[in-house]
Chains A and B, each alone.
Chain A
């Protein structure tokens, strides 16, 4: 018996070692990657500085297209931030045990994606240095910001989501941080000691931890839904033909889930490769994520169809004009979006072999996000180009500044993520081990039963 216990301890040690492999001291490759990503982000910061000092004339926006790539990026990154909520929140509540190895990666993605998204309104506005006018504090004349404006709802929602998702990530990480604390020395140990907040692993702590996690998961889901609904209302609350639509909120939420889940799949492939997690991120994980993506793709396609059908059947001149303009001027992008989001993705994901092939899933997940970026472009730019007064119809194409900042956002996100993976456990040790415990066989009297049978 003691021998068995010893073996078990050894196994656990090995497993900890393996799953914490990402936080070993950085290699040359890692440093190189971080420098490249940092350089791209730096270039974007320079582009922003150019814009701040000369004005928005360096961006492609004009009259009538007053919103461009920055708002497209904003919607896109808010969309990506729905990944963690989906994987951790919803899957936790529905007790899908296969989520365990990916939930940390997805939660971290939420935090970084929403942080990147929150930068874009600042970059977008004309007087960034006056952005504090939006903070709900009265000025010296007792003037508050305008609570009727969807932009203020947006500010509130985004801030709530940043705080909520950071807490969610941090709470879930506490026991793992304690493990890292116990294994590190020197200055690192001091830092992790502070971060682990005195976690000792007593029964009471675990019980509270379990309750808090469930409550957080239940709370973060409505926040996520409200965040993307409010993002959609930035558009739907206006009089702009092509924006003013009741379907926008559910349509945006489904789009956000779609791009979020696709991004988690992309990330899974990358992490699996980078940290040799083949043992933990197995084919069945891709299979399940593929099924999830398939369902959301169907929902998205259904909502898009319902929207376009209504516009076509109603044939209100101005609404139809916007659609025709989109189909005419941006036929390639429209075709790409419909193919990538529906006609390629849906049939492909019906096949088990596709869902279980890591390479194909990588391709599909990237395709979905390219198409979702395109979708945001098609939602924002064409309706603004062709509004009510034909005399003021126009066009939009992004400038080098907007493209640089877009690239910088991606690089900055990747940089934050790389840093996070280096300093924090990227696979949730706690949850994976909890999952293993559940699989155990228990002896009750003469019979052997599963420790837990739900999920899986």
Chain B
């Protein structure tokens, strides 16, 4: 984080106490980012293209069973294992700490997907398809990816860029809360909070200092910037 000269360091906090597992974020992400629809059969084969998924785990023994939900998206690691293995630099680190993915550079070795411990990278096994009328509502700000390339969560980079451009026009930095990725914008209980970690006063930064904080697979040392807040208050840990 300290290496970056940028004013921005995008990060996310996901409060598992607030997450209800409603999957609105999954749908919002799909609509915002032109994620193709693959259908039931191909999903079962593991060809689904969701950039964001809700993992559901069962906790406890019957009858005291609780479902636990963890929304998992690209963790935008600072030491991302997906980046050095790409032979063509399709996967690289942006100055603002995102793991960029250049679709038209990607040759589809799928090495990055193997080396992502969260398995959040998805591969276009075939040309993208949308059932009618979804094909009429593609987002013009987002590239439609062709077959044979990898893709993954971008933190809605099109929204980040738009926000930065507006701020630049007005000669200021992006304000806290000004940029929202689709998932955070949609989340009904407000479990997903996005913002600038480089701004020590931002809401996301303050939340990220919580004593409930943890990161998924933190022991691998990849320094993810998606920070989870441990759930379990009411249910008892």
Binding site for B on A (CB under 8 A): 54-57, 61-67, 121, 124-128, 130-131, 133-134, 143, 145-146, 148-152, 155, 234, 237-240, 384, 387-389, 391-392, 394
Whether the pair A126, B106 counts as a contact (CB closer than 8 A) is: yes
Within 8 Å by CB of B55, from A126, A130, A391, lies A391
Residues of A within 8 A of B160 (CB): none
Within 8 Å by CB of A125, from B109, B122, B125, lies B109
Closest 9 CB pairs of A and B: A126-B108, A126-B148, A62-B46, A55-B126, A57-B125, A55-B147, A66-B110, A127-B148, A392-B119
Tally of A-B residue pairs with Cβ under 8 A?
137
With both chains docked as a complex, state the minimum distance between the C-beta of A348 and any C-beta of chain B, in angstroms.
Answer: 37
Whether the pair A126, B119 counts as a contact (CB closer than 8 A) is: no
CA distance A130 to B105 in the complex (A): 8
- Known contacts A55-B126, A66-B113, A133-B88; A125/B46 CB under 8 A: no
Whether the pair A388, B46 counts as a contact (CB closer than 8 A) is: no
- Known contacts A126-B124, A127-B107; A389/B55 CB under 8 A: yes
Within 8 Å by CB of B106, from A127, A146, A149, A237, lies A127
Q: Determine chain B's interface SS by DSSP, over half rule.
A: loop
Residues of B within 8 A of A121 (CB): 109
- Known contacts A55-B147, A239-B220, A391-B55; A63/B123 CB under 8 A: yes
Whether the pair A56, B46 counts as a contact (CB closer than 8 A) is: no
- Known contacts A126-B149, A133-B88, A146-B86; A388/B107 CB under 8 A: no
Residues of A within 8 A of B31 (CB): none
Whether the pair A151, B85 counts as a contact (CB closer than 8 A) is: yes
Q: Determine chain A's interface SS by DSSP, over half rule.
A: loop
Residues of A within 8 A of B108 (CB): 56, 125-127
- Most chain B CB within a 10 A radius of its CB, from A55, A128, A151, A240: A55
CA distance A131 to B105 in the complex (A): 10
- CB neighbors of A among B160-190 (8 A): none
Closest to A395 in B: B46
With both chains docked as a complex, state the minimum distance between the C-beta of B224 and any C-beta of chain A, in angstroms.
Answer: 12
Q: List 13 A-B contacts (CB under 8 A).
A: A62-B45, A63-B122, A66-B123, A121-B109, A125-B109, A126-B147, A126-B150, A151-B109, A152-B87, A239-B117, A240-B114, A388-B220, A389-B118
- Known contacts A55-B126, A63-B122, A64-B46; A150/B85 CB under 8 A: yes
CA distance A64 to B72 in the complex (A): 15
- Most chain A CB within a 10 A radius of its CB, from B85, B105, B127, B146: B85
Closest to B46 in A: A62
Whether the pair B126, A57 counts as a contact (CB closer than 8 A) is: yes
With both chains docked as a complex, state the minimum distance between the C-beta of B107 and any C-beta of chain A, in angstroms.
Answer: 5
CA distance A64 to B116 in the complex (A): 10
Residues of B within 8 A of A145 (CB): 87-89
- CB neighbors of A among B122-155 (8 A): 122-127, 146-150
Residues of A within 8 A of B126 (CB): 54-57
CA distance A148 to B80 in the complex (A): 13
Whether the pair A133, B85 counts as a contact (CB closer than 8 A) is: no
- Known contacts A56-B125, A57-B42; A389/B89 CB under 8 A: no
Whether the pair A63, B119 counts as a contact (CB closer than 8 A) is: yes
Whether the pair A149, B114 counts as a contact (CB closer than 8 A) is: no
